[in-house]
Chains A and B, each alone.
Chain A
Amino acid sequence: MVSVVDYGIGNLGSVLNALTEIGEDASLATTPAEIGAAGKILLPGVGAFSEAIENLRHTGLADALAEHVDRGRPLLGICLGMQLICRQSAEDGQHEGLGFVDAQVLRLPSGPNHKVPHMGWSTLELARDSAIARGLQSGSDVYFVHSYYVECNDPSDVIARCMHGISFCAIVGHENVYGLQFHPEKSQEIGLSILKNFADL
């Protein structure tokens, strides 16, 4: 059973479809109580960092997520969700994040061969073994849409990297907290397998 955090950021359909496809029960968590009762939590996200973190704070979901992590239960952030679990973000000013991972969120530099947003299929390079990346091989392609990236202060938190102008962290993992910069729900078999790994934790 995976609980997907619903904090008013729109399309959760794709994530729910993907969980259904891998045979996992999924429910939406919209209140702190529902997060408190959840086993595994998936934090999706698209849009602006400041708006999303504000939303999580004023609904009390941020505190509930912190308690969930303190209890040692698994949490997976996807795309903006991965950025939200970091200490801070430089998207439109400086913003405090949830701080589950010692990392900051920075703007991707753009260039003629690496346009921003980074949109499309790009290749993962594994940095270390992890339960979430079980069976995953370097060279696998996954689907990205983002303009900001996560830079970890502790290199051992980096599970996989990707190259787009610069090399950035594509999969982060710190104890029971994980993040994916790409969209596993839109990355075919590879993405579904990573979601399955999370569901099986």
Chain B
Amino acid sequence: MPKKRLIAVLIVRDGKVVQSIRFKHTNVIHSNPVHAIEAFNKWAVDEIVVLNVSRQPDASGHFAEVVSRVSRHCFVPLSVGGWIIDSSIAARLLRSGADKLVLNTAFQDDHDLVHVLSRRYGRQCIVCSMDVKRNAEGETEVMVDRGRRATGKSPLEWLRHTEELGAGEILFNSIDNDGARKGYDLDTLELLCAKSNVPVIAFGGVQTWHHLMQGINAGADAVAAANIFHYTEQATRKAKSYLADHGVDVRVEGRSLV
């Protein structure tokens, strides 16, 4: 069994790293994403996810340029997503140094695109970003289109659907928990982890290292956070030590050989 992974997520709007609170993005944390990568203390993190939450599609290739700059400093797997609306954008992001593609709305609106990308680049290249929200009836429902559109589907229905279309991994996030600092949506997470045939990444709501631990205990293969990593010195290294100290099988930092 591979090690449990610690993942840092960069939420990028118009080329700048922003804070995310219930999918609203206001505060700019870093004007240059490369500085954020460096601030993440890159030797401790196991993987990096960069999500483009700009309001407009990336017609000019500006986000691909960000990916390209980030990838030059990133020697762990790099997943990128946001506005992957056709296969040429996907190809451009991979050429810019991305290793995996994060898809969300395409799982609702463009099944062909998911299918084509999964076949062309392999299932391991396709990450399904699953955003859930509790609706008026108190049921947890999957949302797409940056959290604005309800699918009417439950997380387990969505899991089956996305695995069938070719998802190789699930990046699970709860809009209610995002930026709320109370930890992951553990009930839904546990349900997904029990049923998923592909790795599940827990995301959304981390305020303490204990929250990461809760994600692991719920069965997640990887635990992710965004905001918290920007505001603590040596954050990812401390998070990693915490997990290791609590008996989680994490990657030990490599000693330099040369």
Contacts and interface: CB of A to CB of B under 8 A. Distances in A.
Contact of B257 (A115, A135, A164, A186): A135
Classify the interface of chain A: helix, strand, loop or mixed.
mixed
Interface in B153-182: 168-169
Interface string A52-93: 000000000000000000000000000000000000000000
Given A118-B2, A120-B199, A189-B43, A143 B77 contact: yes
Contacts of A183: 77
Contacts of A21: 75
B75 A187 contact: yes
Contacts of B43: 188-189
Nearest to B75: A188
Contact of A193 (B76, B253, B256): B256
A18 B121 CA distance: 21
Contacts of A46: 121-122
Interface in B78-107: 94-99
Contact of A186 (B76, B94, B124): B76
A123 B254 CA distance: 11
A140 B2 contact: no
Interface string A136-167: 11011101110000000000000000001000
B3 interface: yes
Contacts of A193: 254, 256-258
A40 interface: no
Given A11-B95, A14-B97, A188 B5 contact: no
B136 interface: no
B191 to A, nearest CB: 18
A117 interface: yes
Given A18-B75, A119-B199, A186-B75, A141 B3 contact: yes
Across the A-B interface, the 8 shortest Cβ-Cβ residue pairs: A120-B2, A135-B257, A193-B257, A190-B254, A189-B254, A141-B251, A121-B3, A121-B251
10 contacts: A10-B95, A11-B95, A11-B97, A13-B97, A14-B71, A143-B76, A143-B77, A164-B1, A193-B254, A196-B257
